[in-house]
Amino acid sequence: MLSPRRHIRKSLKRLGALGVITMSVLVGTPAGASTKSAAAPRRVLMLALPTVTWADIRDHNLPHLEPLLRESSIANLMLRTTSRNTDAGDGYATIGAGTRTSGGTEPGAVLQSDEAYGGATAAEIYKRRTGYQLHATAGALGFPQLKAANEEFLFDSVPGSLTIALLGGGYGASAIANADHGEAVPADDRFHREAALTMVDDTGRLPGGYVADSLLREDNGAPFGLALDTSAVMDAFDNAWGDGQVVLVEASDLARADAYRLLATPAERGRQRLAALKATDELIAKLLTRIDTKRDVVVAFGAFHPSYAHNLGIFAIHGPAFSAGLAESSTTRRAGYVALQDIAPTVLEQLQIESPESMEGRAAKSTGSSGNFSERVADLSRENLQSQFRDSVIGTAMVALAIAVVLIALAGLAVLQLPRFARARNPYAALCLAAPGLIGATFLTAPFPFHEWGAGTYWFAVVAFALVFGAGCVASRRVNWLLPTSIAAGFLVLLHSVDAITGTRLQFATVFGYSPTVGVRVTGLGNPASAQLSAAALILATILVAWIGGKRGIRIAAILLGFVLIVVAAPPWGQDFGGALSNAPAFAVFLWLAAGRKIKAKTVGLFGVALVVAGLLVGFADLTRPRDSRTHVGRFFEKIGNEGVGGFFTVVERKAGLMLDTFLVPTWVLASLALIGFLAFLGWGTPWIRRLNSNLPTLRAGGVAFGTMAVLGLLLNDSGVTVPGMMLAVTVPCLLSLIVLQPSSNENAEPPLGYEKEDESGKSLRS
């Protein structure tokens, strides 16, 4: 029986039919239309190569696999599913659903109908658990648990979607795989046929293929004493392979070698894995003799993380519609990157079968590539290592930045209050402005091979740049006391804006950017970077309005903030929907207050309308793009069109859950609370903010806008508390630099400000 929430959601999906028609009209494409090529391939071989990386292809002689890959479109495969660590069950179930999916508690228990299990046959156990007769080659005995597990993940996953679509399109679906453990530890951990989850239908039945242990032979030198019997595998393949067939073959020896790692010495595990690679290459040689490369499609992939690292898998597709080079999908929007959930839509598109609406993945395409095959492999391997290096230092970076900003704030109390530290104000300001320099430096490291140079060199370079940057900013105080902070904020605005417009190369595999090894997004502005850009833009606008003054200052600030809003929101650039929704009303609040107007209830309503309009404009703009070119924003609107209000609440509920989970990580929770408390102390317990407000009359407008942006950024982003935390990490040091650099009361020179407010008649009111 469905829970009340699920029942409501299912009912609301029926309301989506009208949305499908409406949005199809807006996009200009009939609902359900698909692009057809002249002739569909006859057959598809899905070749599962678990735990294989591009470094393996680079470093080992694989004479049969390499020629296939050389003529294929290749990519790194992003393996993130419902959790950061993707095991075999999660990976193969995700491919079969075309959506991030959990493999459940018994993912490997896929048995031939007459195999023994729990004192009965698999067919009897299947009927006992599902109520259905098996009537198929094999059945996934853990399928009921798998479906139940995915009810809780809010990805609207439909396990078995690939096979249902294939059968509906007139194609067969088979799996040939067996990664069973012989000397299983624990004893009940014997069956490992997770690969079959890719090809089961929506009841857990496997239509064709073979997964029984007769695919194996005893081999005392192999992991668990078992290895694939190549002859048995080829017999099963020949029985399944024919016109109109999609057949998955897993190189199960690789999965067994990975599972046996912890039970073997380092030398022996290396030997066993090399032997598994060689045996796999020989198996591929035999499979390729059955392939017609002019009409058949071969998709090679690694479906799950190895036991020792969060490596990226390999992805390669060879077929009539693909050329030698790189592959990408609109899920990743980055050349050389495909997501696990993209594999099923890719297969279906090649067979001219429309992907089910439940599939969040998008079909992979060939994309241009400079360089030869060896260079492509080297680049993909290097990027995998860069991502792992990023993942190894991100924890330190987050903690270090949070602690550094809190310590800078505490040091400010001494510098501002104690007379003996009066001469330290310029060095302290340099230290404050080193914080945005440090943030920027982490992005500027992207082009350099710090994964080879090590963490020590990385931190030396980042900290050295930050200190030099801070000192350079403060040196400009001779021109104007506002200039140092303006340079620091402008640096972040320029850095992130140029990077977003030119392809976000500095976001990739950097600590405050994103990583393909743990994330689901590798293009546009990440939430931390978007928060940094937004906070820096607001600081710069606050200074510019006061410095330039009058309507001219307001206009320039409006241009700056409008430009940043476009950079953050535009589908080809920032693609940060949550950032756009939080920035639009916050920037409007600032411009409204800076112009000397008051915020009333009516004003709040107008800002709310601005929030909704900004979201709709971004969403509908992306929705008008071709389906396979849309970002996650367009896909969100597409989901609402397909599923009605239920689709909206599904996404919101999932995002809210992710946002709340961020409060379980103490780093930015504690740092944010400390910094908010510090700002409250500055505002109500000291004269420093009052004096700065007299020298910088737009300070109050900037503060109210910052609060608006931080609260909305917290609520509207799945990064949760990290978003206001990053905003505070930029804003607090910049604010302190303004406080210590502002003209003292005994300085004779009037602060060079042109800030003016105007009354309703247009008469200037000098502040």
For residues 224 and 148, state if they share a domain: yes
* DSSP secondary structure, 372-409, as one string: -HHHHHHHHHHHHHHHHHHHHHHHHHHHHHHHHHHHHH
Q: Does 755 reside within a domain?
A: no
**Position 78 confidence tier, pLDDT thresholds 50, 70, 90:** very high
Query: Which DSSP state fits 663?
Result: G
pLDDT of residue 263 exceeding 50, the answer is yes
Quote the CA–CA distance of 100 and 78 in Å, as a whole number: 12
Structure confidence by residue, pLDDT tens digits, 308-364: 889 999 999 999 999 999 999 989 989 999 999 999 999 999 999 999 988 999 999
What average pLDDT score do residues 167-179 get? Answer: 96
Rg (C-alpha) for the chain, rounded Å, is: 29
Question: At how many degrees (to 10) do helices 666-685 and 722-741 cross?
Answer: 40
Of the candidates 369, 402, 417, which is a domain's last residue?
Answer: 369
What's the pLDDT at 258?
95
**Position 7 confidence tier, pLDDT thresholds 50, 70, 90:** very low
Cα torsion angle, 192, 196, 200, 205, sign = negative
What average pLDDT score do residues 224-237 get? Answer: 96
**Position 652 confidence tier, pLDDT thresholds 50, 70, 90:** low
pLDDT of residue 298 exceeding 90, the answer is yes
Least confident piece of the model among 73-82, 154-163, 215-224, 628-637 = 628-637
Q: Does 8 reside within a domain?
A: no
Q: Which residues contact 333 (CB under 8 A, 6 or more apart)?
A: 522, 523, 524, 631
Structure confidence by residue, pLDDT tens digits, 529-548: 999 999 999 999 999 999 99
Query: Which DSSP state fits 508?
Result: B
Quote the CA–CA distance of 533 and 489 in Å, as a whole number: 9
Quote the CA–CA distance of 76 and 459 in Å, as a whole number: 28
Of the candidates 369, 404, 421, which is a domain's last residue?
Answer: 369
Q: What are phi and psi of 757, to 5 degrees?
A: -110, 155
Least confident piece of the model among 175-179, 403-407, 619-623, 763-767 = 763-767
pLDDT of residue 112 exceeding 70, the answer is yes
**Position 144 confidence tier, pLDDT thresholds 50, 70, 90:** very high
Candidates 646, 518, 402; CA nearest to 78 is 518
Quote the CA–CA distance of 274 and 60 in Å, as a whole number: 9
- Residue with tokens 């029942």, as numbered in its chain: 7
Quote the CA–CA distance of 315 and 301 in Å, as a whole number: 5
Q: What is the CATH number of the domain that holds 208?
A: 3.40.720.10
The larger pLDDT score, comparing residue 528 to residue 518, is at 528
Quote the CA–CA distance of 37 and 30 in Å, as a whole number: 18
- Residue with tokens 């857990």, as numbered in its chain: 204
For residues 157 and 115, state if they share a domain: yes
The larger pLDDT score, comparing residue 2 to residue 612, is at 612
Of the candidates 369, 398, 426, which is a domain's last residue?
Answer: 369
**Position 230 confidence tier, pLDDT thresholds 50, 70, 90:** very high
For residues 296 and 388, state if they share a domain: no
For residues 353 and 391, state if they share a domain: no
Candidates 455, 450, 464; CA nearest to 396 is 455
Structure confidence by residue, pLDDT tens digits, 441-469: 999 999 999 999 999 999 999 999 999 99
Quote the CA–CA distance of 645 and 637 in Å, as a whole number: 11
Coil/strand/helix, residue 263: helix
* DSSP secondary structure, 195-229, as one string: GGGGT--TTSEE-EEE-SGGGEEE-TTSGGGEEE-
Q: Does 9 reside within a domain?
A: no
What average pLDDT score do residues 63-90 get? Answer: 94
For residues 355 and 407, state if they share a domain: no
Q: Does 2 reside within a domain?
A: no
pLDDT of residue 654 exceeding 70, the answer is no
Q: How far is CA 294 from the centre of its chain?
A: 35
For residues 583 and 700, state if they share a domain: yes
What's the pLDDT at 625?
67
What average pLDDT score do residues 712-717 get? Answer: 87
Query: 503, exposed or middle or buried, with CB in 10 Å at 0-12, 13-18, 19+?
Result: middle
Could you tell me the two tokens for 314? 């390999």
For residues 568 and 465, state if they share a domain: yes
For residues 108 and 254, state if they share a domain: yes
What's the pLDDT at 5?
38
Q: Does 612 reside within a domain?
A: yes
Predicted structure pTM score: 0.85
Q: How far is CA 574 from the centre of its chain?
A: 13
pLDDT of residue 43 exceeding 90, the answer is yes
**Position 559 confidence tier, pLDDT thresholds 50, 70, 90:** very high
What's the pLDDT at 723?
92
Tell me the average pLDDT of the chain.
86
Candidates 641, 644, 636; CA nearest to 21 is 641
* H or E element in which residue 728 lies: helix 722-741
For residues 343 and 467, state if they share a domain: no
Q: Which residues contact 92 (CB under 8 A, 6 or more apart)?
A: 48, 103, 107, 194, 195, 196, 197, 198, 303, 304
Q: Does 602 reside within a domain?
A: yes
For residues 90 and 210, state if they share a domain: yes
For residues 736 and 672, state if they share a domain: yes
Percent of the chain residues topping a pLDDT of 70: 85
Contact criterion met (CB below 8 Å) for 228 and 253? yes
The larger pLDDT score, comparing residue 52 to residue 182, is at 52
Q: Does 333 reside within a domain?
A: yes
pLDDT of residue 21 exceeding 60, the answer is no
What's the pLDDT at 765?
38
Amino acid at 18: L
Q: How many domains does the chain have?
A: 2
Per the structure, the complete domain to which residue 297 belongs is given by 42-369
What average pLDDT score do residues 413-435 get? Answer: 87
The larger pLDDT score, comparing residue 268 to residue 11, is at 268
For residues 364 and 475, state if they share a domain: no
**Position 22 confidence tier, pLDDT thresholds 50, 70, 90:** very low
Coil/strand/helix, residue 442: helix
Q: Does 18 reside within a domain?
A: no
What's the pLDDT at 639?
62
What average pLDDT score do residues 590-599 get? Answer: 90
CA distances from 109 to 127, 159, 257, 347, 355 (A): 14, 16, 19, 25, 27
